[in-house]
Structures are given as C-alpha cells and as structure tokens.
Amino acid sequence: MAEEERKLSIDPATNEMIAKARVDGASIAFDRAEKMKPCPIGQEGSCCRMCSMGPCRVPAARNRDETPEEKARRTGVCGATAETIVARNFTRMIAAGSAAHSDHARKVVEAFLLTAEGKAPGFIIKDEQKLLALALDFGVEIGNRTNEAIAIDIGKLAMQEFGQQNGELRLTRRAPLKRRELWRKLEVAPRGIDREVVESMHRTHMGVDQDYRSLLAQSMRTALADGWGGSMIATELQDIMFGTPAPVFSQINLGVLKADEVNVIIHGHEPALAEMLAVAAQDPELIDYAKSKGAKGINLAGMCCTANEILMRHGLPIAGNFLQQELAIVTGALEALVVDVQCIMQGIQDVAECYHTKIITTDPRAHITGAMHIDFDEHHAPETAGKILRAAIDNFPNRGKNVRIPDVKTDLIAGFSHETINYLQGGLFRASYRPLNENIINGRIRGVAGVVGCNNARVTHDDVHVRLVRELIKNDVLVLQTGCSAMACAKAGLMLPEAAAEAGPGLRSVCEALGIPPVLHMGSCVDNARILIAATAMVKDGGLGDDLSDLPVAGAAPEWMSEKALSIGQYFVGSGVYTVFGVNWPTTGSREVTDYLFKEYEAVYGGMWGFESDPIRMAKLMIDHIDKKRKLLGLDKARERVLFDMEMRRSMEAV
C-alpha cells in the first residue's frame, strides 16, 4: 500500500483531528512518523553505542548459513558479537522500563508515608481492608494499632524494597510456590528493586557481561523486580490511599471535552495530583471563578494511564489514549494539558503553540522546554491543584474561534480490580475465583488473555488492539486489559455488557449470567500487577495446575512502543505466560538471541515470547497456546462436551 494511503486510525475522532491538524499546520506524531523512518539497524537492536570507539553497527546475518569466520567478522571494534550487542540493548530497555514503574512506586511510597504521618493534607487511608491484607503480607503487626501506625510500618518496609541488597522482594511471596522455587533455581529471584536496575546498567556497560544468556537472566531479574516489586507496590498503596476500584460507568474519546466549560486534561501516570484535581474541580469557589470568566464549569478528563487511574476510582471521563494527546490540543477547546510523568510527547508543546492550550508540567523529574511548570508537592496538594485549575480558568478567555470537538464518545464500564472480580464471583463472604476456574474447566471460557500496552504511530492506531480482542472474545477467551490498549477497546464499545453479543457462546453465557463485559478494564500500566494477582488466584483456587505456567492464559501488547511494555512482557514471560508483541521486535539483529527468547525460554520459564504483527494471526497464536495448556491439563475433552443444556445454565447462574 502506498504510504499516503496508509490508514492512520480506526477511530473517527482521531481521523477528524488529524485532518484538522493538517489544515491548521500543527505538527503531529502521525505525520512525523511518515517523515521519520525508523533506522533499520537500531530497530533490530544491532547498534551499540556503549563506548566512544563506536557507535558500532553489527546488523543481522543476511545469510542463514553464515560460517564461523563470517560471524567472527561481524563484531564491534571491541569484538562484541551481535548476540552481546542485542542482549545488552534489550536488557537496557527493560532496565529503563522497570526503573520508570519503580520510580513511580517510590513516589507513591513517599506519599503513603506522608499520608500516614498526617503530613499530606487531602490524602487519607481510604481502603482499610486492603491495608490490613497488605499488613499480613508484609508481616506487620495489626493488634489494636491505628491504621496510621500500621501504614507507617508498611510504608517503611515498602521503601526498603528499593534499597534491599540481598534476599527476595517481599511481594514475590504471593507467587505460587513452584514459581518461586523456579526463580530461586534459576537465580533470577529479584533481590532489591534499585539493585537490579543498577546491576543491569553495570552489566551492559562496555566490557562487562558478554554472554547473552547471562545478560538475559539479569534482564529477567530486573523485570520481575518491576512486576512483583515496583508495579505491585504502586498498585497496592494507590488502592489503599485512593480506593480499590469497583465497577464504574464513564465515557471515552475526544467528545468528552465540552464546548462551554474550562477543559483540563491530566496526562501521564501518577494518580496523586489527579486525585487532588478531581476534588478541586468540584470546589464551588473554583467553579464560580470559572463562571466569572464566561465558562459554565470545569470539565476534568484524563489521558493515558493517569486517565485510567481516575477512571477506575472516580469514573472521570477519558479524552483518549497515547496517540491522541496532541489531538486533544488540536480541538482548540483545551485550556490546560497537565502532565506528570511518562508517555508525554515533547511534541505537545509545539502543538500547543498553534492554539491557546497551556502545557503545565508538575513533576520535578519531568520538565518540557517552553511549558509552564507548577511543582506538585504532597505537603501542599490541595493548594497546588487549585493553582493549576486557576491557571486553566484564566486561559479560558483566550480560546479562539478555531474550535472543533469531535462528536464521538463511547460509554464504558471499568473498575475490574482483582478484588472486584473476586467479589463478583461470590459476594463478600464467598468471594473466590472458583466460578471462573469452573467455567474454564467446563469449557465455557476457553482461557484468559491479558491484552495491554501502548499505541504506536508505525501501525494503524487502535486497529491491532481491537481486531485482536474481538477475535479472542469470539473464541471464548475472556480478556483482561490495562493501559492504552484498554482505551482502544473501550472506544470500540467492547467494555459494555452488551459487547457479550460479540463473544462466543460460552463466554457470552458467562458474561450474561454475571452481567459483565467480555473485556475487563483492570487499570493503568502499573496495574498489570493486578493481572499477576488474578492469575495467581486462579492457580490457588485449584483445578488448573500448580503454577502460573499451567494456566490456559496468554498475554499480548499488540501496539507497544515504550520500554515499560518490554519490562511488562518480560515479567509476564518470567511468570510463565506466553506473551506476543506486535509492531516490531528489538532483538532480530541476532537469530540466536531471538530463538532463545521465542523458543528455548519455554523450557526454562514455562512462558516465552512471540511476535506477530497481524491481529488475527496473533489471536491464533494465543488461542493455540491456550488450547495446548488445556490439553496438558486434560481439559480438551471437557471443552468438546459442552452442550449448554438448561441444567448447566441454571448451575452457572447459581454461581
């Protein structure tokens, strides 16, 4: 297909705003991606710039029957092989992804401690039940102690997880015993979060670890420190402070912006400021201030994972996912784009200069040249939130006439935390994963897929997510989602109970009995830890093997772009899950390394990587894997026997 014919998005709101940006002369990622072609050597992981004798480019062998002599000639100046270079780059990407999630977690722990000490006005311990459950996991005494005293002990122990030098991270104890024993045997059990990231950087420095298997073992330790460490800590403590998500109704897409109100979008990943803005946006004084400037009120919406955080807990609307961040400005109706950390394109500042939008950075770790900066500090959170909203309100009179808000938005239901899924299956006193397991065993549900990750300007926006998920549910696979992938499917209407009509007959009947959509929104990128917990609960409830790798489950990040996604994928794989990525794959510069990750890993970890850019073929790979696991569990026969008679339907409804 000629480049100019490439379909940029399946989302009508996005396409409408791309067209407007072009008329307005705004530079957006969709167009920059056409001009900036990816470097083929960098894309396959073959470019080494670890020292100033390079950069050395050691592209993949073009010839499958390469002789050892030919191979020996394909090295960098220092003699580093393609295997070493590719594995080093892969490990560094994972270290960066793990660092991002974990530094987010560190900030959450700091806020949690300040909250417990009464030094963070506006923040409280909201979920006592979860606090006590975590106290048990951390071995913190409960007795007659106050929630605050318990929280201080938890916070201090959580903080120690970052600097711990030896031993194993506490939350890895939640994993099935067999998995933990495997990690110990392979020596990949994560010791301390910061230690693993630092060691990855050290080992990938020029002239240190030069064996790809050894490098990849360290990348696994670092990824596990993310999934069972940083990300899990972030999710747990955020739930305790801001509330554990429960089903909530909301709307998504650029159509949630309002023509007659002050529109403020909060974008990034960390929920603390967003929580305060959600409260401040209801402040009658600020609403009156907005009215004094000619607006009818304040409309707060989210973007990317900060959006997922405030959606899951407050039902605040979502304006869009990753590739829509510049397009929200292009509407001409956005007074402020308030950003915290991660996945924020520098391009938003340039686009904002074509309109009236103020870009407001709020985190001392994330500045953007030309943007306004208002430092967010938990000691003064309500005042900071008020200051930000006032800056947005003051900008309302500057809104020009070039305004077009796409009339596109979709209803959705989110809020499917692990606790909610547990509760939905049996109520407060009988909560368990047993009904889900039984429906997998009897074949109504074929298996479970975690479909997560970003958008990527190299593929048609949202298309791969939506087609993949539609194919999975059609084949009776229940889909759990997070991140921008969840938003893509929500925009397509797949997060409503009515979407069960698109599911296969088995999954449909379960969704109808429980009143849930076939695609469940579990939250933000750090909340992929919820998927680990849900999968562990399935193992612990019995009937589906004794390790995560026995489950008929698979994972995918069909439009991934960030290093965090790679870290997530690696910890899924290391936890025993077959995980397929789309778009492109960063180790193709070495066939040996790629074969190790795609084939040999299964014998090592029980999970392995896969790559496929076509969504239907990707679904097939995942379903084939699910069927393989069903067969190993002896469930293939059960699935053939499913006949949905009245008695079976009644028993299922009794669930």
Q: Which residues bind ligand SF4 (CB under 6 A)?
A: 48-51, 53-56, 76-78, 80, 85, 206
Q: Is 483 in the site for ligand MSK (CB under 6 A)?
A: yes
For residues 645 and 145, what is the distance between their CA atoms, to the nearest angstrom? 53
Q: Is 562 in the site for ligand MSK (CB under 6 A)?
A: yes
**What single-letter amino acid sits at 553?**
V
Indicate which of ligand SF4, ligand MSK, none lies near residue 343 (CB less than 5 to 8 Å, by partner kind).
Answer: ligand MSK
- From 554, 529, 551, 552, select the one nearest 540 (Cα to Cα): 551
For residues 146 and 290, what is the distance between their CA atoms, to the nearest angstrom? 41
Residue 76 or 483 with smaller CB distance to ligand MSK: 483
User: Token pair of 531, please?
Assistant: 């998927």
Is residue 385 within 8 Å of 407, Cβ to Cβ? no
Smallest gap from residue 205 Cβ to ligand SF4 (A):
9
Give the count of alpha carbons within 13 A of 645, CB side only: 2
Smallest gap from residue 590 Cβ to ligand SF4 (A):
13
When binding is defined by CB under 6 A, the residue of 170, 470, 564, 625 that contacts ligand MSK is 564
Smallest gap from residue 465 Cβ to ligand MSK (A):
10
Residue 155 or 558 with smaller CB distance to ligand MSK: 558
When binding is defined by CB under 6 A, the residue of 85, 305, 333, 583 that contacts ligand MSK is 305
User: Token pair of 201, please?
Assistant: 């950087």
Residue with tokens 């998504």, as numbered in its chain: 252
Smallest gap from residue 79 Cβ to ligand SF4 (A):
7
- By CB under 6 A, the residues from 342 to 361 that bind ligand MSK are 343
Residues 583, 588, 589, 593: is their CA dihedral positive or negative?
positive
Residue 208 or 279 with smaller CB distance to ligand SF4: 208
Is residue 326 within 8 Å of 346, Cβ to Cβ? no
Spatial CB neighbours of 359, under 8 Å, sequence gap ≥ 6: 336, 337, 339, 348, 349, 352, 368, 370, 371, 372
Nearest 10 degrees: Cα torsion 14, 18, 24, 26: 100
Smallest gap from residue 237 Cβ to ligand MSK (A):
18
Smallest gap from residue 506 Cβ to ligand SF4 (A):
52
Residue 440 or 568 with smaller CB distance to ligand MSK: 568
Q: How many CB atoms lie within 10 A of CB 40?
A: 14
By rule CB under 6 A, what string of x and - marks binding of each residue 314-343 to ligand MSK? --------x--------------------x
Coil, helix or strand for 282? coil
User: Token pair of 425, please?
Assistant: 């299956």
Which contiguous run of DSSP H or E holds residue 102? helix 82-116
Residue 85 or 499 with smaller CB distance to ligand SF4: 85
Residue 525 or 577 with smaller CB distance to ligand MSK: 525
**What single-letter amino acid sits at 591?**
R
Residue 48 or 298 with smaller CB distance to ligand SF4: 48
Task: Give the DSSP letter string of 147-206.
Answer: HHHHHHHHHHHHHHHHH--SS--GGGGGS-HHHHHHHHHHT-S---HHHHHHHHHHHTST
Is residue 111 within 8 Å of 241, Cβ to Cβ? yes
Indicate which of ligand MSK, ligand SF4, none lies near residue 525 (CB less than 5 to 8 Å, by partner kind).
Answer: ligand MSK
Residue 585 or 596 with smaller CB distance to ligand MSK: 585
Q: Is 525 in the site for ligand MSK (CB under 6 A)?
A: yes
Is residue 310 within 8 Å of 266, Cβ to Cβ? yes
By rule CB under 6 A, what string of x and - marks binding of each residue 261-300 to ligand MSK? --------x-------------------------------
User: Token pair of 642, please?
Assistant: 């499913």
Q: Is 371 in the site for ligand MSK (CB under 6 A)?
A: no
Phi, psi at 369, each rounded to 5° = -55, 130
The residue range among 17-25, 149-157, 293-301, 562-570 that interacts with ligand MSK, by the rule CB under 6 A, is 562-570
Smallest gap from residue 565 Cβ to ligand MSK (A):
6
When binding is defined by CB under 6 A, the residue of 295, 352, 424, 484 that contacts ligand MSK is 484
Smallest gap from residue 197 Cβ to ligand MSK (A):
17
Residue 268 or 504 with smaller CB distance to ligand MSK: 268
**What single-letter amino acid sits at 585?**
W
Coil, helix or strand for 411? strand
Q: Is 531 in the site for ligand MSK (CB under 6 A)?
A: no
Indicate which of ligand MSK, ligand SF4, none lies near residue 299 (CB less than 5 to 8 Å, by partner kind).
Answer: none
The residue range among 248-256, 560-568, 592-600, 628-636 that interacts with ligand MSK, by the rule CB under 6 A, is 560-568
Which contiguous run of DSSP H or E holds residue 576? none
Is residue 372 within 8 Å of 360, Cβ to Cβ? yes
Smallest gap from residue 253 Cβ to ligand MSK (A):
15
Smallest gap from residue 484 Cβ to ligand MSK (A):
3
For residues 28 and 448, what is the distance between their CA atoms, to the nearest angstrom? 36
**Footprint on this chain of ligand MSK (rule: CB under 6 A):** 269, 304-305, 322, 343, 453-454, 483-484, 524-525, 562, 564-565
